[in-house]
Amino acid sequence: MPHTHLPPPQTLERIAILKQRPGLMWEGTGVSNPGALRLSDGSIALMYRGCGSNNVGHLGFCRLEKEGRKVLNGTRSKNPLHVQSEAEKKEFPGGYGDPRLTKAGEWYYIWANARNNEQMNINRKTHANDFSGQYMGGRQTVAFRTKDFKSVEYLGLHGPDEFDKNSFLHPDPVIIDGTPYWAFFHRIQYSIQVALAPSLDYLKKREPWRKHVAHLQDFIMMQPKLRWEGVGSGDNWPGSISGGAPPLPIESDKLPTTYDPSRQYWLMFYNASGDAREGKIARDRRVGAVIFTTKDHLNLTSQPFKVVARTAEPILLPHEKYEFGSPNGDVVFATAAVKTLDNKAIDVFYGSGDVVISKARFDLQELVDYIVQFDEHASPVKMLAR
């Protein structure tokens, strides 16, 4: 008799937490894809993309109360946190979006998707369904830093010269031969890659990135392989996945006994681009999750992580009316995750149809129990006891 596996967990709550303010030009057509992290006072810092009628992205900020449901009074910025210089406008006329947040020392770092929409459109028209050609430019990763979220310092390009986005740091350094390295998640074309850097300034240097891109296959952590990730959907589309929320550590008591208690495991949400509606380039977005750990043998010539469990189905799908039928497809796009203060649940912050920012809460144990039913290939394994 075949074994029945648990279905994807139901959300404990699913609510819209931030909508656009039509009276403000810089976010009048929508807000989306936030970065979030918990601050020392228990509140949640939330960075987000505001988009105006000119399709230029700007970085907004607010703080949420401890449960992540409401904006704290007086904390939502009336103006973007950063105004582009003329040089920035020339390089990235489409502005910035999809921020992810990392705390490193006394600084909060913001990793943002920098946009050149004109270049992106030229690539699409020139290369049609040659998807490799489409993605030669138009999106890159830039960094900012701040100590208080009242003003930010623009740090410039932190990533390759090629099309690159969905970038963020692993929360803990990776130790190789006694030296700590930052693990920098990013996405060129269709897969999730991890670059290693001895310092954050190293991510600005051009030559290491050229070497990294030349050996990109060695730094791929995950590739699309499932139908809901777009594989086999037609039109020569190879499927596409990207890192969503920066990883969160998972305590050993929440994992099966077959998992090594001496190792650290992390949970990461990721996004997949699946089917496209007829006549449209945009592809529907879905959210999955993986659990991973570090490899047994680490070196600088490959990415450092091993996926041990991967969801066979998405754990978050479009639900609200505004999550269906946007110019970018039917969209839920996860970009941040924060544990509740009691460590019993996890809040996933995501863009809803590119017009609203929402939050979905999962029971952490139920979510982990669902994920560990599968191996690194999303194939079912025997049910494992905790």
Residue 124: pLDDT over 70: no
Q: 336: which 2 tokens?
A: 């941040």
Q: How far is 71 from 69, CA to CA, in rounded Å?
A: 7
Look at residues 100, 110, 31, 97 and name the one whose alpha carbon lies nearest to residue 351. Answer: 31
256 lies in some domain: yes
For the entire predicted model, the pTM comes to 0.93
> Chain centroid to CA 331: how far?
14
Rounded CA separation 8/370 (Å): 6
Q: Say if 383 falls within a structural domain.
A: no
d(CA 307, CA 312): 13
Quick check: 384 pLDDT over 60?
no
Q: Are 211 and 163 in contact (CB under 8 A)?
A: no
Q: Between these two residues, 287 and 137, which has the higher pLDDT value?
A: 287
- pLDDT for the residue 55: 86
SS3 labels along the chain: CCCCCCCCCCCCEEEEEEECCCCCHHHCCEEEEEEEEECCCCCEEEEEEEECCCCCEEEEEEEECCCCCCECCCCCCCCCCCCCCHHHHHHCCCEEEEEEEEEECCEEEEEEEEECHHHHHHHHHHHCCCHHHHCCCCEEEEEEEECCCCCCEEEEECCCCCCCEEEEECCCCEEECCEEEEEEEEECCCCEEEEEECCCHHHHCHHHHHHHHHCHHHHEEECCCCHHHCCCCCCCCCCEEEECCCCEEECHHHCCCCCCCCCCEEEEEEEEEEEECCCCCCEEEEEEEEEEEECCCCCCCCCCEEEEEECCCCCECCCCHHHCCECCECEEEEEEEEECCCCCEEEEEEEECCCEEEEEEEEHHHHHHHHCCECCCCCECCCCCC
In a domain, residue 307? The reply is yes
pLDDT bucket at 380, cuts 50 / 70 / 90:
very high
Residue recorded with tokens 């039928």: 325
pLDDT over threshold 70, residue 132: no
Integer Cα distance of 363 and 316 in angstroms:
14
Contact 61, 77 (CB under 8 A): yes
- Identify the CATH number of the domain in which residue 91 sits: 2.115.10.20
Structural domain harbouring 23 = 13-371
In the structure encoding, which two tokens stand for residue 240, read together? 């596409």
Greater model confidence, 176 or 239: 176
Q: So what's the pLDDT on residue 284?
A: 83
253-258 mean pLDDT: 95
Q: pLDDT by residue (tens digit) across 191-220? A: 999 999 999 999 999 999 999 999 999 999
Residue 297: what pLDDT? Answer: 95
What is the share, in percent, of the chain residues with pLDDT greater than 70? 92
CB 285 within 8 Å of CB 272? yes
What does pLDDT average to over the chain?
91
- Asked if residue 377 is part of any domain, the answer here is no
The verdict on residue 379 lying in a domain is no
Q: Is residue 378 part of a domain?
A: no
Paired tokens of 46: 């939330």
Q: What is the pLDDT of residue 38?
A: 98
Q: What is the pLDDT of residue 33?
A: 96
Residue 251, pLDDT score? 96
What's the distance, CA 33 to chain centroid? 9
- Is position 8 within any domain? no
Is 249 inside any structural domain?
yes
Half-sphere exposure for 358 (CA within 13 Å, toward CB)? 25
CA 246 to chain centre: 7
Give the number of domains in the chain: 1
Q: How confident is the model at residue 277 (pLDDT cuts 50, 70, 90)?
A: low
| The 345-352 sheet, strands edge to edge | 13-19, 356-363, 345-352, 332-339
pLDDT digits (tens, 9 = 90+) for 325-337: 777 778 899 999 9
pLDDT at 230 over 70: yes
Confidence tier at 279 by pLDDT (50, 70, 90): very low
